[in-house]
């Protein structure tokens, strides 16, 4: 019986000290030791590298001492415009014409060209359809096995 009592007292003393340390320290008015998250070695200042020295002939210079040469002209024109939807329509139409270079079905070609125009209908304000049609009629004249009259080309989106 004495063994059970002494074991129980030791068990409760262990649990009390282990899990209720802060409460017991406050009740007994014992100040806990402050634990740092950083080990003491990390608080020492160590010099890893020496002082950086700038290289010779580098640094800040007054604007009067800086020398610049004249610019060389380039071959880029200031009039170069980026490609737009009209150029994309023209390229896709040329691909369609090349695809029908060995096919003699005029109605099918015009139906597919109409579908292509429907795709670009959202850009109708930006595309000059008569200019695209005139460029395409010249391109198609030598590639298509059939002839398209000016009235057969679609004139509107």
pLDDT for res 83:
82
- 15-41 pLDDT tens trace: 888 888 888 778 777 766 667 777 777
How would residue 80 be classed by pLDDT, with cut points 50, 70 and 90?
Answer: low
Q: Is 9 within a domain? A: no
Q: Please, are residues 146 and 97 in contact by the beta-carbon 8 Å criterion?
A: no
- Establish if 52 belongs to a structural domain: no
Residue 80, domain member (yes or no): no
- Would 136 be classed as within a structural domain? yes
Amino acid 111: pLDDT: 92
Rg (C-alpha) for the chain, rounded Å, is: 44
Considering the domain boundaries, does residue 122 fall inside one? Answer: yes
Is the entire prediction scored with pTM above 0.75?
no
Structure tokens at 32: 């806990």
User: Is there a domain that residue 40 lies in?
Assistant: no
Q: How far apart are alpha carbons 140 and 106 in whole angstroms? A: 12
CB 97 within 8 A of CB 114: no
Residue 89 lies in a domain: yes
Higher-pLDDT residue of 75 and 113 is 113
Say if residue 149's pLDDT is above 70.
Answer: yes
Among 31, 135, 39, smallest CA distance to 93 is for 135
Containing structural domain, residue 130: 85-141
Q: How many domains in the chain?
A: 1
């Amino acid at each position: 019986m004495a063994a059970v009592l002494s074991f129980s007292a030791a068990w409760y003393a262990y649990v009390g000290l282990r899990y209720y340390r802060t409460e017991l320290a406050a009740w007994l008015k014992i100040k806990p030791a402050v634990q740092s998250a950083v080990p003491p070695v990390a608080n020492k200042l160590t010099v890893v590298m020496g002082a950086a020295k700038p290289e010779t002939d580098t640094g800040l210079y007054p604007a009067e001492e800086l020398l610049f040469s004249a610019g060389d002209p380039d071959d880029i024109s200031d009039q170069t415009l980026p490609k737009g939807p009209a150029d994309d329509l023209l390229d896709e139409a040329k691909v369609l014409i090349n695809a029908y270079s060995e096919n003699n079905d005029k109605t099918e070609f015009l139906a597919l060209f109409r579908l292509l125009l429907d795709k670009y209908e959202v850009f109708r304000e930006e595309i000059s359809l008569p200019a695209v049609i005139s460029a395409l009629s010249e391109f198609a004249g030598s590639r298509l096995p059939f002839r398209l009259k000016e009235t057969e080309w679609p004139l509107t989106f």
